[in-house]
Amino acid sequence: MRTRRCQDERNTATVLLLNLALLVFVLPAPTKGQTPPPAAAWVPQEAVLCLQVSRPQALLELFTGSQMTQAITATPFYRGLLAQPGFQEFLKGIKFLEISLETDWRTGLAKLVGGGITVAVCPQDTVVAILEAQDESLLQKLHEIAVNLARAEAEKQGRPERVASRQYQGITAWTFDGKEAHAIVGKRLLFSSRAEGLKAVLDLCSSSQDKGLAGSASFQAARKAASPQAAATVFVDLKPLRGIPQVARLFESQWSNPLGALTWAGVAESLRTSNWLSLELRAEGASPSQRGRDTRDTLSLRAVLDGKAGGPTSPAAFALPKTGDGAWPNLAVPRRLAAASLYRDLRGFYAAKDTLFPERTSGLIFFENMMGIFFTGRDLTTEVLAETQPEIRIVVAQQQYDPTVGTPQVKLPAFAAVLRLRHPEPFGKVVEEAWQKAVGLINFTRGQKAEPGLIIDRPVHKDVKYTVAYFSPADADDKANLDIRFNVRPALAMTGQYLILSSTEGLARDLIEALSREAGQAVTPAAQTHSMLELDGGQAVAALLANRETLVQGDMVKKGKTRPEAEAGIDMLIALVRLVDQARLSLGTEQGLTQAQLTLKLQY
């Protein structure tokens, strides 16, 4: 019985694997005697999303190459998979295919997907895939194996009718479960989650007119916005999506939250006015023979919207740089984990508050009253925020703890904001007074709870006098496991035209030095870019490793996981982050189109 059950599981796994292989590999190539139209011409024009992998070889070289394979198989997560019976069956299924198709899995995969992949989501929960192989005979052989195994499985379950075929317009269409339907036309495997979907594809195959998605004006505009060198592209038709209540609420929700409006300004407005979204993925790197420790493969994901972010009178005007202007370069400091540079006119943002989020008027009145206390009655819009330039830079860095103070049990990174002021000399003193009032309020509140307060000091670094507040460690019993409050040592500094607000003294000192270095250089903003975010993968891994035990315990308590499960999950996260050397995200406009680009430099 045990042998029979194992054999049944093996057959089931093999059938699933074959179905997966048939669904995940292939795209456009010529049929016998003629070159077929682009695969998008066979996709129903009603498709709301279409993914096309036009250069699969570039992705295969990156994700199935020896370096990536070694990096993945060396992870604790993969070693854990090897111990699971289900994964062993999967590997046996791969071996079975290699023997049956007389090729190794990498070569077979390249031959099966070499032409490309097109997957589309259509109305009525219909998914359509058009896959094209470089080797037609290998595709036919794989399908024959799949048919035989599917029939054996269906007969074993007493439902042989589930595997059936029929002719439609001279083409043999198959189903393995009575729901999905697929057919092979030349080198192309056509698949649909519903029989009606396959019928629509086959109708387009026999049509001489451009009735498919390729004939759509929106699709053509989105394809034009993508680079010809893209390995993969995605087209999304936004018009029908806006008719879905949940999606419509998502588009509108960006304005309801002040922080969301400040962060996603321009993007949210562009989304609401766009007809389509275009995504492209590019893979670049050294050839396998050139790769070494000093080379990096790069993945770039670029998104384009055809909607306009708005003009000078739009609610998003505070985040739209003037011609030639934009976000300033990010600041570099030791142990930097992440950095962001934003072009945001804070005065313009707050002046548009009644338009951006009118339902929050009462809360904003309370906020203004509090700011009036800190800034001695000055108007928040015209006398406080108007003193700031549009350039805002944020830095997050790993902390280097003072051994004379101790190390917190939970280690948090330091963070700081750097603002450029219009009148640094007089307004710097105003900010200093407001900052000290805020520290006083914190101490008063903590004193009411019988908690220790902050001590204010005025040290000097690189000829810059700054203000710092800190908790005394005098009463700490265990300096190796201090309270979480010792992650904070807030500091305020003025250097030149810049105001530094930092959560720690160490980061404030590093920024004083970074701004001093920058003062001797010509700063060139990223034209028409309003947001730039950079992440250092190595520092992110260090932060995760420093807090690994805390994260594991958190998963055990909050998610009810066992320790081995929690450790496996956290270690998998660390392994994935370790693959990224650097990440960079930029948002802005180009030729009137809203664009976003994410670039990942990988390491193995």
| Cα 11 from Cα 14, distance rounded (Å) | 5
Would you state the pLDDT for residue 10? Answer: 43
Q: What angle do CA 557, 561, 564 make, to 5 degrees?
A: 120
Separation of alpha carbons 263 and 247, rounded Å: 19
CA angle 80, 81, 84 (to 5 degrees): 100
Element (H, E) at 51: strand 49-53
Closest CA to 285 of 475, 62, 465, 20: 62
Reduced to 3 states, what is the DSSP secondary structure of residue 260? helix
What would the mean pLDDT of 396-409 be, rounded to a whole number? 92
Distance CA 210, CA 219 (A): 12
Q: Name the strand (E) or helix (H) holding 415.
A: strand 414-421
Burial of residue 336 (number of CB atoms within 10 Å: 0-12, 13-18, 19+) = buried
> Reduced to 3 DSSP states, what percent helix, strand and coil does the chain have, rounded to the nearest 5?
45, 25, 30
The CA distance from 603 to 575, in Å, is 11
pLDDT tens digit string along 471-484? 998 888 888 889 99
Write out pLDDT tens, residues 11-52: 444 434 444 344 333 333 334 446 778 999 999 999 999 999
Contacts for 104-112: CB closer than 8 Å, 24+ residues apart: 106/60, 106/64, 108/138, 109/25, 109/60, 109/64, 110/56, 110/57, 110/60, 110/134, 111/135, 111/138, 112/21, 112/25, 112/26, 112/138, 112/139, 112/142
557, pLDDT greater than 60 = yes
Specify the higher pLDDT residue, 358 or 505.
505
Tell which phi-psi region holds residue 591, choosing left (phi > 0), alpha (psi between -120 and 50) or beta: left
- Positive or negative, the CA dihedral 104, 109, 110, 111 is positive
**8 Å CB contact between 507 and 461:** no
Encoding tokens for residue 467?
């203000």
Q: Round to whole Å and give the CA distance between 486 and 509.
A: 18
Query: Measuring CA to CA, which residue among 169, 168, 193, 166 is closest to residue 181?
Result: 193
Rounded Cα distance, 127 and 193, in Å = 5
Local structure of residue 377 (DSSP, 8 states):
T
Contact residues for 593 (Cβ-Cβ < 8 A; gap 6+) = 225, 304, 305, 306
Cβ-based burial of 321 (10 A; exposed 0-12, middle 13-18, buried ≥19): buried
- pLDDT tens for each residue of 110-134: 999 899 999 999 999 999 999 999 9
- Whether the model clears a pTM of 0.95, i.e. scores above it, the answer is no
Across the chain, what does the average pLDDT equal? 87
Nearest partner of 539 among 346, 359, 318, 335, judged by Cα: 335
Residue 296's pLDDT band (boundaries 50, 70, 90)? low
With residue 368 as reference, give the H or E element that holds it. helix 361-374
For the segment 483-532, what is each residue's pLDDT rounded down to a tens digit? 999 999 999 999 999 999 999 999 999 999 999 999 988 889 999 899 99
What is the spatial distance between Cα 425 and Cα 274, in angstroms, rounded to a whole number? Answer: 45
